[in-house]
């Protein structure tokens, strides 16, 4: 047998914040995996494992694995009785399993299921997480919340397999979505560190790091709110300035995709009571969709107007437009026609606009042009004095 877990499992996680995050993540993962609608099997656990970068094992009450992402040799070696016992609260401990060291998290499955969920994090993954201020593990927590919220909302109703599959696709897609910019950030940071040693640091790559990190944070924020698009921090915000800021964040990326933006914005004109980061999220989604609709590049027109107590922003692209058959499903969660799409952008954006007392809709294109034209509106007032761009 490859593995004999050490009997004395000790807490080696110096960073208690990280440990707390792991606990949260494990508990939330258990809520998702324990839901009667979740298709508990090796294949689905492998997908979850691929996403979180850690193996997952679900055992029955006797500690026998019922589903696992473990490769066969590790599976044979897995011995639940040598690992910490599951309680209602998630526990985290370090364990040596034969030649391999893991940080193991364990928690009891929530009723009606009986058994335990084990998450086995490679120790080097955690060591690298400790170095980072922004750690992907928090993303997993957000996704587990999202999954639990979606599954939970279905109540006792059986959750259809298609939705769960979509959720798994979402997990995997987000992993890809996050991994690429993170790779770029790492490479740029390394190159800059070298330059710093040589005394020739340039600001532009550092700004790119900041912009990409902010974009990822927005993506994560967006996912967090799919389950419950609640407006958290409403403040008087200048919607045009906020839109312009989002645009400037995304511009390097759009330029790279040969997408130019013609913006007709009126900073200083309107004030909306909004959560600026959620507003940014909506604009970001619409711009990304516009860019996706024009794989060979093109022009996006962004225009705002203030009339009748409404601030309206239109986003119009030169893509193929939205086919009749797609229109009815456009705002449904997890509806996507893209190979690597998530299908949450529009559903989330509409939810956020409505939570602010406004709305988001597809409009006929100006002059019958081919592209898509989305319009969002929010209740607004004419600015008495300049409002903050960020509301932060
Ligand atoms: P995703 O972008 O991940 O697919 P969304 O909810 O943002 O998720 O969009 C759902 C679907 O709506 C897209 O897959 C696409 O079919 C359609 N769509 C959204 N924006 C546009 C656009 N600007 N032009 C054409 N189709 C669009």
For 39-86, write each residue's pLDDT tens digit: 778 877 877 776 566 788 999 988 899 999 888 888 888 887 778 788
Q: How far apart are CA 107 and CA 118, in angstroms?
A: 7
Q: How far apart are CA 8 and CA 279, in angstroms?
A: 50
Task: Confirm if 286 and 352 have CB atoms less than 8 A apart.
Answer: no
Reported confidence tier of residue 263, pLDDT bands at 50, 70, 90: very high
Query: Ligand 1: residues within 6 Å at CB?
Result: 285, 289-290, 293, 317, 319, 322, 326, 330, 335-338, 341-347, 372
The residue whose C-alpha atom lies closest to atom 11 belonging to ligand 1 is 336
Percent of the chain with pLDDT over 90: 24
State which of 261, 328, 341 you would mutate to test the pocket of ligand 1, scoring each by most atoms of that ligand within 8 A of its C-beta: 341
Tokens of 378: 């929010």
Reported confidence tier of residue 132, pLDDT bands at 50, 70, 90: very low
Please list the helix, strand and coil fractions of the chain in percent, rounded to the nearest 5, in that order. 45, 20, 35
Q: How far apart are CA 261 and CA 263, in angstroms?
A: 6
Reported confidence tier of residue 10, pLDDT bands at 50, 70, 90: very low
Report which of residues 53 and 208 the model is more confident about: 208
What is the average pLDDT across 129-150? 43
Q: How far apart are CA 305 and CA 315, in angstroms?
A: 12
Helix (H, G, I), strand (E, B) or coil at 32: helix
* Model-wide pTM > 0.75: no
Buried b (16+ CB within 10 A) or exposed e, 352-361: bbebbebebe
Reported confidence tier of residue 29, pLDDT bands at 50, 70, 90: confident
Which residue bears the tokens 């006792």? 156
End-to-end CA distance of the chain: 56
Name the least confident of 18-32, 103-117, 283-297, 320-334.
18-32
Report whether pLDDT(229) > 70: no
State which of 229, 289, 322, 364 you would mutate to test the pocket of ligand 1, scoring each by most atoms of that ligand within 8 A of its C-beta: 289
Instruction: Using alpha carbons, select from 294, 316, 293, 320 the residue that is nearest to residue 304.
Output: 316
Tokens of 277: 């980061």
Helix (H, G, I), strand (E, B) or coil at 176: helix
Residues contacting residue 43 through CB under 8 Å, at least 6 positions apart = none
What is the average pLDDT across 337-348? 77
Q: How far is the CA of 229 from the centre of ligand 1 (A)?
A: 19
Q: How far apart are CA 100 and CA 122, in angstroms?
A: 8
What is the average pLDDT across 151-157? 42
The residue whose C-alpha atom lies closest to atom 19 belonging to ligand 1 is 289
Q: How far is the CA of 375 from the centre of ligand 1 (A)?
A: 14
C-beta atoms surrounding 131 within 10 Å:
7
pLDDT of residue 225: 54
pLDDT of residue 304: 98
Report which of residues 346 and 313 the model is more confident about: 313
Report whether pLDDT(194) > 80: yes
What is the average pLDDT across 181-202? 80
Q: How far is the CA of 376 from the centre of ligand 1 (A)?
A: 15
Q: Across the chain, what does the average pLDDT equal?
A: 76
State which of 292, 353, 362, 365 you would mutate to test the pocket of ligand 1, scoring each by most atoms of that ligand within 8 A of its C-beta: 292
The residue whose C-alpha atom lies closest to atom 16 belonging to ligand 1 is 337
C-beta atoms surrounding 386 within 10 Å:
13
The residue whose C-alpha atom lies closest to atom 13 belonging to ligand 1 is 336
pLDDT of residue 198: 85
Name the least confident of 145-149, 263-267, 336-340.
145-149
Phi (first) and psi of residue 7, to 5 degrees = -70, -40
Using the atom order of ligand 1, give the atom closest to the CA of residue 348: 6
Q: How far is the CA of 254 from the centre of ligand 1 (A)?
A: 17
What is the average pLDDT across 124-130? 54
pLDDT of residue 222: 61
pLDDT digit string, tens, across residues 272-299: 999 887 888 899 889 989 999 999 999 9
C-beta atoms surrounding 310 within 10 Å:
16
Reported confidence tier of residue 16, pLDDT bands at 50, 70, 90: low
Reported confidence tier of residue 196, pLDDT bands at 50, 70, 90: confident
């Amino acid at each position: 047998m490859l593995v004999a877990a050490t009997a004395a499992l000790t807490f080696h996680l110096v960073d208690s914040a990280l440990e707390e995050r792991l606990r949260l993540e494990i508990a939330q993962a258990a809520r998702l995996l324990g839901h009667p609608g979740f298709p508990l099997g090796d294949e689905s656990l492998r997908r979850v494992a691929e996403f979180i970068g850690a193996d997952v094992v679900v055992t029955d009450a006797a500690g026998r694995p019922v589903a696992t992402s473990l490769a066969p040799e590790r599976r044979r070696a897995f011995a639940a009785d040598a690992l910490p016992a599951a309680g209602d609260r998630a526990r985290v401990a370090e364990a040596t399993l034969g030649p391999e060291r893991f940080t193991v998290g364990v928690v009891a499955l929530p009723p009606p299921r009986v058994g335990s969920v084990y998450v086995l994090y490679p120790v080097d993954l955690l060591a690298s997480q400790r170095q980072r201020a922004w750690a992907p593990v928090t993303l997993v927590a957000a996704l587990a919340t999202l999954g639990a919220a979606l599954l939970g909302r279905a109540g006792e109703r059986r959750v259809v397999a298609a939705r769960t599959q979509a959720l798994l696709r979402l997990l995997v897609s987000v992993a890809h979505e996050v991994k690429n910019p993170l790779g770029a950030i790492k490479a740029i940071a390394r190159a800059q560190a070298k330059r710093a040693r040589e005394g020739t640091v340039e600001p532009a790559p550092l700004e790119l790091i900041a912009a990409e990190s902010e974009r990822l944070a927005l993506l994560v924020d967006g996912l967090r709110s799919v389950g419950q698009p609640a407006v958290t921090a409403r403040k008087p915000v200048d919607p045009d300035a906020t839109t312009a800021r989002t645009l400037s964040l995304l511009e390097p990326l759009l330029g790279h995709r040969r997408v130019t933006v013609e913006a007709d914005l009126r900073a200083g004109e309107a004030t909306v009571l909004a959560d600026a980061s959620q507003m940014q999220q909506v604009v970001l989604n619409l711009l990304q969709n516009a860019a996706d609709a024009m794989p060979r590049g093109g022009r996006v027109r962004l225009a705002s107007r203030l009339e009748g107590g409404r601030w309206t922003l239109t986003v119009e692209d030169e893509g193929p437009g939205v086919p009749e058959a797609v229109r009815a499903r456009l705002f449904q969660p997890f509806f996507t026609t893209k190979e690597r799409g998530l299908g949450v952008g529009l559903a989330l954006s509409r939810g956020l606009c409505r939570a602010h007392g406004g709305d988001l809709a597809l409009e006929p294109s100006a002059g019958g042009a081919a592209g898509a034209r989305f319009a969002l509106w929010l209740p607004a007032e004419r600015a008495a004095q300049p409002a903050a761009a960020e509301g932060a």
